[in-house]
Structure 1
Amino acid sequence: MNLQTLFAERIGGAAFGLSNEIYKFEKIKRAKAAARQTHKSVELLDFGVGEPDQMAPAAIRRALKKAVDDPANRGYADNGLRDFKVAAAGYMAEFLGVTDLAPDTEIVHSIGSKPALAMLPLCFINPGDVALATVPGYPVLATHTKYLGGRVVEVPLLKKNGFYPDLDAIDADTARRAKLFYVNYPNNPTGAAPSEEFFDRLIAFAQLHNILIVQDAAYATLVYGRKPLSILSRPGGKEAAVELHSMSKSYNMTGWRLGFVAGSARVVQAYAEVKDNIDSGQFKAIQLAACAGIADRKLADRINRHYQRRLRKMVKCLRSIGFDARLPGGTFYLYVPSPCGAGATAFATAEDASQFLIREHLISTVPWDDAGAFLRFSATFESAGNKDDDRVVAELGARLAKAQLRF
């Protein structure tokens, strides 16, 4: 039997699994393993991890333990508990000022944001349809658009535009054919936070061209020096956009896999229709635990302060070395122009710089070369507490200084 001839073209067809190409995150993983093996007594400083460094708050864990022992929670959740929908509506009102969401028709839970981003193209994309997607960014919606025979048009996020898409640069034919526009604010990896002006321009663009905005708000509460902002709070937002929220970043619930989709009833209905044929819902106990977290505003605020403290320390450290580092508008990332070399070594790409820092100095970052050469430093590094944060950041500075980076 020749299994190789059976693979679908969307994953490579007969060539599936035969390529020697190594993707970015696999390169990072291998470089870290090699560096640890070569320098067994040296701590690897991992500023590349994109998930929280702490456990979910104790109140959430206690609620989970209680719910696990309730036999009423043993069955399928299907399209979600009403308790969680009501809690999600409360979250939208409390943090984002969106007070008009109907829990029963305009909110449906998801098993994390990633599956929701994979399912939404199933609601809208036919072969030949176009989706717009900002780059750099999370590729899931774009990947599934391609799986369905759609075409993805990348819209670069450039520093000169404040890391917002240049809507005027999207040609008329592409805009006319597009069905979806994927954006992510607060933005990973750039750290740009949404503004009312940007959301208003984006909504007007979508209305003009009959495009649905898919706004991935996974980092919604992680903004600094401003209030969290939802596209659904802007005039016309609910009609022009669907917004995805996650418990992962705001409540340190990454591995728990829970989020929700919010927007107009018809769009949410379409998502729920597809979802109902793909999964049977997240475990009820996890949904109830999230309700406990949402009920205590202080939990998300505390997590916000944790990252803000770290980011400020990292900014000071990186600026002392020569990086153009500034406190981001949101997320837990610093997105900085990559150095062009170190000593006599030249870097052609951010990936070159990233690999050098791992190999020679045991500093892990994530490189982005999609729209300029940048390195992403994450504030989710491992440490033993606030005092140890200072030690880790000081060690980062010492190693970077030793590297003799050129900008």
Structure 2
Amino acid sequence: MPDLASLTAAQRRKAKLLYLNYPNNPTGATATREFYEKAVRFAYDNEIIIVSDAAYAALTFDGETPLSFLSVAGAKDVGVEIHSLSKAYNMTGWRLAFICGNELVVKGFAAVKDNNDSGQFAPIQKAGVYCLQHPEISVKTSLKYSRRHDLLVEVLRSSGFPVTKPKASFYLYAAAPRRIKNGPVFHSAEDFSEYLITEKLISTVPWDDAGAYIRFSVTFPARDAAEERRLMAEIKHRLADVEFIF
């Protein structure tokens, strides 16, 4: 989570918006109520608007419960929250979402949107209504992702990756190895991600913005838990002939 206290007075005066994203993409990190409380005080003190991107908020597991920024006292006075049906309801590509919170910020966003695009296709809106009336869809999806994370963490640890299961989202953020024993050296996460796709046919997303990391995803197609286990066993098999040095 960002260290708000590290910002200088000049930086705080210049800032107009604080953008938060929890559960986080790409790390899968979750925010705490204490952090949100600090963020609200920070926004009050510095006259900054907070935009909380909560696209993954419903996808939590292992005792982690969804936490809305707007549930913190004073949050509705300083910010808004964005929710998407893409993640929690598997409607990726249909671009259906909503924004809520501070009235003036919502009105400002609505004015921009009104001049930027038009309404979504009506049947998609009706599908969205059905989704929001059936939150058990998200619960079922969360259980699936949690189960797949357990499998993926086991496979990656067996190959030497120092990974920890996240408490939310369908991403697993992992440090990229520096090299392979008696093999190639990786100067960046992009190097390693390219190696995985070309040599092992394993698709990942590289992140070199804050160290060398790669992002796995558990959104692969599988009919049931048995097929999930078979796919993970295949990943383990493809990685079994190399020793990664971290």
Fold-level match, TM-score > 0.5? yes
Q: Deviations over 1:280-310 (max 9, x none)?
A: 2112221121111111121111111111110
The 8 Å contact of residues 247 and 259 in structure 1, kept in 2 or not, is answered as yes
Length, aligned pairs only: 244
Alignment of 1:219 with 2:59, yes or no, is: no
Amino acid in structure 1 at the alignment position of 2:89: Y
Report the Cα distance in structure 2 between the residues aligned to 1:214 and 1:283, rounded to whole angstroms.
26
**Correspondences of 1:134-145 after superposition (within 5 Å):** none
Of 195, 199, 210 in structure 2, the residue corresponding to residue 371 of structure 1 is: 210
Report the Cα distance in structure 1 between the residues aligned to 2:215 and 2:241, rounded to whole angstroms.
20
Amino acid in structure 1 at the alignment position of 2:43: A
Amino acid in structure 1 at the alignment position of 2:244: L
- Report the counterpart of residue 7 of structure 2 in structure 1: 170
Of 179, 182, 186 in structure 1, the residue corresponding to residue 23 of structure 2 is: 186
Secondary structure at the counterpart of residue 119 of structure 2 = coil
State the Cα distance separating 1:260 from its structure 2 match: 0.4
- Report the counterpart of residue 239 of structure 2 in structure 1: 400
Q: Any stretches of 5+ residues in structure 2 without a counterpart?
A: none
Alignment of 1:208 with 2:34, yes or no, is: no
Report the Cα distance in structure 1 between the residues aligned to 2:226 and 2:176, rounded to whole angstroms.
28
State the Cα distance separating 1:362 from its structure 2 match: 1.1
- Report the counterpart of residue 188 of structure 2 in structure 1: 349
- Report the counterpart of residue 88 of structure 2 in structure 1: 250
Alignment of 1:361 with 2:200, yes or no, is: yes
- Report the counterpart of residue 272 of structure 1 in structure 2: 110
The 8 Å contact of residues 325 and 336 in structure 1, kept in 2 or not, is answered as yes
Of 308, 318, 323 in structure 1, the residue corresponding to residue 161 of structure 2 is: 323
Give the number of the structure whose alpha-carbon radius of gyration is greater. Answer: 1
Q: Name whichever structure is richer in helix by fraction.
A: 1
The 8 Å contact of residues 64 and 168 in structure 2, kept in 1 or not, is answered as no
Of 133, 145, 158 in structure 2, the residue corresponding to residue 307 of structure 1 is: 145
Q: CA RMSD in A?
A: 1.1
- Report the counterpart of residue 287 of structure 1 in structure 2: 125
Amino acid in structure 2 at the alignment position of 1:262: C
- Report the counterpart of residue 84 of structure 1 in structure 2: none
Amino acid in structure 2 at the alignment position of 1:194: A
- Report the counterpart of residue 95 of structure 1 in structure 2: none
Report the Cα distance in structure 1 between the residues aligned to 2:241 and 2:214, rounded to whole angstroms.
18
Secondary structure at the counterpart of residue 215 of structure 1 = strand
Secondary structure at the counterpart of residue 215 of structure 2 = strand
State the Cα distance separating 1:258 from its structure 2 match: 0.2
Amino acid in structure 2 at the alignment position of 1:214: V
Report the Cα distance in structure 2 between the residues aligned to 1:363 and 1:265, rounded to whole angstroms.
45
Report the Cα distance in structure 1 between the residues aligned to 2:127 and 2:200, rounded to whole angstroms.
41
Secondary structure at the counterpart of residue 345 of structure 1 = coil
Q: Deviations over 1:81-128 (max 9, x none)?
A: xxxxxxxxxxxxxxxxxxxxxxxxxxxxxxxxxxxxxxxxxxxxxxxx
The one of the two structures with greater contact order (alpha-carbon pairs below 8 A, sep at least 6) is 1
- Report the counterpart of residue 228 of structure 2 in structure 1: 389
Report the Cα distance in structure 1 between the residues aligned to 2:143 and 2:167, rounded to whole angstroms.
13
Secondary structure at the counterpart of residue 16 of structure 2 = strand
- Report the counterpart of residue 263 of structure 1 in structure 2: 101
Tell me the percent identity: 48
- Report the counterpart of residue 67 of structure 2 in structure 1: 229
Q: Deviations over 1:46-88 (max 9, x none)?
A: xxxxxxxxxxxxxxxxxxxxxxxxxxxxxxxxxxxxxxxxxxx
- Report the counterpart of residue 239 of structure 1 in structure 2: 77
State the Cα distance separating 1:220 from its structure 2 match: 0.9
Report the Cα distance in structure 2 between the residues aligned to 1:200 and 1:402, rounded to whole angstroms.
48
Task: List 4+ stretches of structure 1 deviating above 6 A.
Answer: none
Report the Cα distance in structure 1 between the residues aligned to 2:167 and 2:200, rounded to whole angstroms.
29
Secondary structure at the counterpart of residue 214 of structure 2 = strand
The 8 Å contact of residues 219 and 330 in structure 1, kept in 2 or not, is answered as yes
TM-score (norm 2): 0.96
Q: Any stretches of 5+ residues in structure 1 without a counterpart?
A: 1-163
